[in-house]
Amino acid sequence: MKTNSIKDYFQLHFVVLIAGFTAILGALISAHSLSIVFFRTFLASAGLFLYLYLKNVPIKISVKATWQLLATGGIIALHWFTFFYAAKISTVAICLAGFSTGSLWTSLLEPLWEKRKIRIIEVGLGLMVIVGLYLIFLFEVDHIMGLLVGIFSAFLSALFSVINAQFAKKHSPQIITFYEMLGAAFITFIPVLYLFIQADNDFILIPQGLDWLWLCILAFVCTVYAFAEGVELIRKFSAFTFNLTLNLEPVYGIILAYIFFGEKERMTVGFYAGTFIILISVLLYPLLKKTKFSNS
């Protein structure tokens, strides 16, 4: 069983706080969700390339590993697109609530990937998240589509987290992030170019004014730093622990959303009750992990 220091947990929660801020930035940027993902990943991959070049870090890896990382970047691109899209068609809070199902998805995906038994504690806590979501469904019927898109985004997040847990054993976080951001930029460039050519659409594809500032923060702070740090932390934590802690993202994100957007982000009592249950599942995990049920 892995043991982690207080510093490790602090770093993990700091990354989650930054992750919660990405939804705020996505809502602030006026451009289409696909454009946000493209410019975010393009700037991030360019920034990482410059960093690795100045540090004289070789970026050459095997052809097989290159294609694997680029393909994973495609999964990440779809995850971020659905994440930002959920926030735009509903609210930041709803988007983040759907995203909190990541622990349930990971409790199912990680055992399949690692060919081990599903642990009762992981499924049980994942089901607590489902109960929390059920309450949100009951009280936020006007935002069902945003919640469903957010849940799908969580599935994709769990998938690439489990995959990255394996990559992290062979490659540095910077190399993983560089190739995955490059893959995400390439996969989103094609549809963005297509929409740009179709000049009769109403989509905002080129960022406007302050959009560039938000995009730079999104690319270099919320992507280059947070993503590389996240990959490093996956080496110290299991993918399930990592994703379960990511369930705090709605809590951090909802607080930040209310600070930035005020009454627009005020939700029903049922929403907050559901989010509270999700938070409890996060707090219970480190305690239950020490019991005899942790290896069941």
- DSSP 8-state secondary structure symbol assigned to residue 152: H
What confidence score (pLDDT) does residue 27 get? 86
User: How far, in Å, CA of 91 to CA of 88, rounded?
Assistant: 6
pLDDT in tens, 212-251: 999 999 998 888 888 778 777 877 787 667 766 766 777 7
pLDDT at 294 over 70: no
What confidence score (pLDDT) does residue 247 get? 66
The structure tokens listed for 202 are 């109403």
What confidence score (pLDDT) does residue 285 get? 66
Q: How confident is the model at residue 287 (pLDDT cuts 50, 70, 90)?
A: low
pLDDT in tens, 244-254: 676 677 778 87
Q: What angle do CA 149, 13, 24 make, to 5 degrees?
A: 45
pLDDT in tens, 121-140: 777 877 887 888 788 877 77
Who wins on pLDDT, 71 or 105?
71
What confidence score (pLDDT) does residue 9 get? 84
The structure tokens listed for 286 are 């480190």
Quick one: average pLDDT of 87-99? 84
- DSSP 8-state secondary structure symbol assigned to residue 168: T
pTM of the model: 0.81
**Per mean pLDDT, which range of 85-89, 187-191, 240-244, 250-254 is the poorest?**
240-244
Share of the chain above pLDDT 90, in %: 23
The structure tokens listed for 57 are 């870090």
Residue type at position 100 = S
70 with 184: CB under 8 angstroms?
Answer: no
What confidence score (pLDDT) does residue 286 get? 60
26 with 33: CB under 8 angstroms?
Answer: yes
pLDDT in tens, 152-181: 999 999 899 889 888 888 888 888 889 999
Quick one: average pLDDT of 263-282? 77
What confidence score (pLDDT) does residue 65 get? 92
Among 14-23, 39-48, 227-236, the range with the most confident prediction by mean pLDDT is: 39-48
CA atoms within 13 A on the CB side of 164: 37
